Amino acid sequence: MKTISIRISDELEKDLEAWVKESGRSQSDLIREALEKHIRIKSFREIREMLVPFAQKAGYYTDDDIFNDPELT
């Protein structure tokens, strides 16, 4: 596992310290989890953006269109 160093603002440091106390977890665990989540969300949004034109061509414009399609449930 790689170790990296980052600089954060005083305000962010206070927020991180509060999060550490509240969760009982280490700074490293929380920062790693937040970064992993950010990357997963970014990837999801990129994939969704690529798929939207295909979904719209098939008549799906909202999530409800998909969830309410009896052929997909």
Cα dihedral across residues 15, 4, 24, 44: positive or negative: positive
Are 20 and 30 in contact, with CB atoms under 8 Å apart?
yes
| Nearest alpha-carbon partner for 27 in 40, 18, 36 | 18
- Tokens read off for 34: 């937040």
pTM over cut 0.85: no
Confidence at residue 73, expressed as pLDDT on a 0 to 100 scale: 73
Which pLDDT tens digit goes with each residue over 42-62?
Answer: 999 999 999 999 999 999 999
CB 66 within 8 A of CB 72: yes
